[in-house]
Amino acid sequence: MTGTTKTIHGEWSSRFAFILAATGSAVGLGNIWKFPYITGENGGGAFVIVYLLCVALIGIPIMMAETMLGRRTRQDPINTMEQLTEEAGADKNWHYVGWAGVSAGVLILSYYSVIAGWASAYVIKAFTGSFSNANAEAIKGIFDAFIGSPMQLIFWHSLFMAATMLIVVRGVSNGLEYAVRHLMPGLFGLMILLLGYAMTTDGYFQGLHFLFNPDFSKLTSDSVLTAMGQAFFTLSLGMGAVMVYGSYLTADISIAKTSVIIAAIDTIVALLAGLIIFPIVFTHGLHPDSGPGLIFKTLPIAFGSMTGGWLFGILFFLVLTIAALTSSIALIEPAVAWLVDSKGYTREKACIASGLVTWLLGLGTVFSFNIWSDVKLFDRTFFELLDYLTANLMLPIGGFAIAVFAGWIMKRQHSEQELNMPNAQYYQLWKFLICYVAPAAVFLVFLHVVGVL
């Protein structure tokens, strides 16, 4: 199929463009907020080693598989799974993998956009000097008042969704590629600037130590499973985003090489985020393990009191907003591509329909922080339930299914042809990882999240 089918959506103009787009999808809230925090809690360097192993042994093989499936058909995830199932003469039910992926994207974006809206609001708060000389209590007051106001959260959620859809509606070349070409260099540049600042703080070495000191005594079986879950979320795996980005990839580009590069950049960005956040936290005698509040409740205290904090506060939340934006366009693209491919919608109509559904769903997350904060199902608010359902269940199950499909269902000659590795041993290695290591590991994560293990 390679080279014979054309996508109707357009293609990445080069290998570099694909790397930028896939990296943009990978680098997001997961890297800048979650990775530093969970690393700190799970033994620092020891956790980083396990995480790197997960990225290498599970993340990269599954990323290769997802890209390969998408590129083979040049279609959205649902049609991709349908066509490839037919090609392999397999059970029709495999197309549910595509459905689950498209749905997971919409569900994740519905809450991702609300949190990204917080980041955008904090750019303005930093700019208007809300944090200047504020103590911990005042900063907490600002945060609580903000998330307690449905109108404010709806405003920022709407703005973020609108920005996402305005990019997506312009298509692959003029929208997605144009956006990542302009936003990603800015993101890297700002991060380097922030790192430069962090290196001048008194707490830099303490931060370095916290992040890289391998304290194996803190490493539990739980940490290993957390590292695996994080590898999935951060690489955007298991939900068709990588598949749909792969479908816009030309046949001449090496899937293996690009996957390794994307995973490496994503990991470097996560480490950079830790190297920026922890030194600032330590310099100001703050606590690194404050969870979801770390970025919104702790860092502003530091920005409010440090030299240049006004500018660095603005830059930090800008980085977070940009990172979230280049991820959110990847979250909605599978749904948009499917509406165009299968329902015959124009791209505009597809964007309005999928954007509206996502926006509406997002209201549930907005309200779960205020007027619905007491409404709980299985002891979780709407937002917590959605987060659990998508990140902990849908992505691992999707990843497992993709690994099994690529390893066991797809004909060997097809995956061999599509991956087109220069060396037979590389292909053997991938085949071993995708057939045995990745499914077994993901199965363990799954057992863990449902509480069996």
The site map against ligand PFF for 280-299 (x = CB under 6 A) is --------------------
**Residue 392 interacts with ligand PFF (CB under 6 A): yes or no:** no
Cα within 13 Å of Cα(308), Cβ side:
11
Tell me the number of residues near ligand PFF by CB under 6 A. Answer: 16
48 close to 212: Cβ distance less than 8 angstroms: yes
For residues 269 and 299, which CB has a smaller minimum distance to ligand PFF in the complex?
269
The site map against ligand PFF for 225-264 (x = CB under 6 A) is --------xx-x--x-x-----------------------
**Residue 390 interacts with ligand PFF (CB under 6 A): yes or no:** no
Q: Supply the minimum distance, in Å, between the C-beta of residue 243 and ligand PFF.
A: 10
Q: How many beta carbons lie within 10 A of that of residue 220, not counting itself?
A: 11
Structure tokens at 195: 């790192």
Q: How many beta carbons lie within 10 A of that of residue 168, not counting itself?
A: 26
Q: Supply the minimum distance, in Å, between the C-beta of residue 91 and ligand PFF.
A: 26
Residues 314-333 that bind ligand PFF (CB under 6 A): 327, 330-331
Distances (CA, A) of 273 to 96, 191, 257: 36, 8, 25
Three-state DSSP class for residue 380: strand
**Residue 29 interacts with ligand PFF (CB under 6 A): yes or no:** yes
The amino acid occupying position 7 is T
Beta strands (DSSP E) in 392-436 are none
Residues 106-125 that bind ligand PFF (CB under 6 A): 108
For residues 29 and 397, which CB has a smaller minimum distance to ligand PFF in the complex?
29
**Residue 25 interacts with ligand PFF (CB under 6 A): yes or no:** yes
Strand partners, 317: none
Q: How many beta carbons lie within 10 A of that of residue 13, not counting itself?
A: 14
**Residue 430 interacts with ligand PFF (CB under 6 A): yes or no:** no
For residues 23 and 73, which CB has a smaller minimum distance to ligand PFF in the complex?
23
H or E element, residue 260: helix 255-283
Closest CA to 331 of 234, 232, 241: 241
- What does the binding site for ligand PFF look like in residue numbers (CB under 6 A)? 25-26, 28-31, 105, 108, 233-234, 236, 239, 241, 327, 330-331
